[in-house]
Chain A
């Protein structure tokens, strides 16, 4: 089925470990983004991309890196995990660069639940 696929669904890390959350979409969407969801705070934008080779910071980028080598993939890297990064992470995509205008609808993945001990 077409959509946004995130892996892994669950992950437990120790402080200081690194890992990558994977996100792939098969809808040829130009715009992709990563959000974190914390109780009572809604979703906050971490990083986004308006096309292959282009990335930019969102509201809470510290401690995270991204790259966009292809249209389909947008991995999120945690280089040295901290307990404050315990959260549920969502990848979302939108049809074209106008997704950045906010008028287009985001398609969300099912989420990745990360716990940092």
Chain B
């Protein structure tokens, strides 16, 4: 079985300050991990993905995430928030084996608000 928990349902930051969106996962097998972003009334867009290569993954728009196996975490960060970053973010896990093989499990989502 696999699961993913996004620790904050809402995060509010000021423009120009750092962003941290937290994600913990559980998986019996080596996972693939993703972050997707959804802007209002839009579909989901991939930000970045981890698939057992480098543990620090860089994505689009200045976002990055670090895979920490010992902490079962995959937190998303950005050094300086822009107004255009305001959206909902989803952490997603996929297992490489077992009964959950190939199935994507989505976190509940974190809504990021950016204040001027």
**Is B82 an interface position by the 8 A CB rule?**
no
Q: Interface-forming stretch among B14-22, B39-47, B64-72, B73-81?
A: B39-47
CB neighbours (8 Å) of B95 from chain A are 102
- B44–A108 touching, CB < 8 Å: yes
CB neighbours (8 Å) of B25 from chain A are none
Residue tally, chain A, CB below 8 Å to B? 22
Shortest beta-carbon distance from A81 to chain B in Å: 22
In-complex Cβ contact of A108 among B41, B45, B107 (8 A): B45
Given contacts A90-B44, A103-B32, A108-B43, contact A45 B108 (CB under 8 A): no
Residue tally, chain B, CB below 8 Å to A? 24
- Residue on A nearest B9 in the bound complex, by CB: A40
**Is B63 an interface position by the 8 A CB rule?**
no
CB neighbours (8 Å) of A103 from chain B are 32, 51, 94, 96
- In the complex, which residues 70-117 of chain A have their Cβ closer than 8 Å to any Cβ of chain B? 90, 92, 99-103, 105-106, 108-111
**Is A44 an interface position by the 8 A CB rule?**
yes
Shortest beta-carbon distance from B115 to chain A in Å: 23
The 6 closest A-B pairs by CB, nearest first: A102-B94, A42-B106, A108-B43, A100-B102, A43-B106, A108-B44
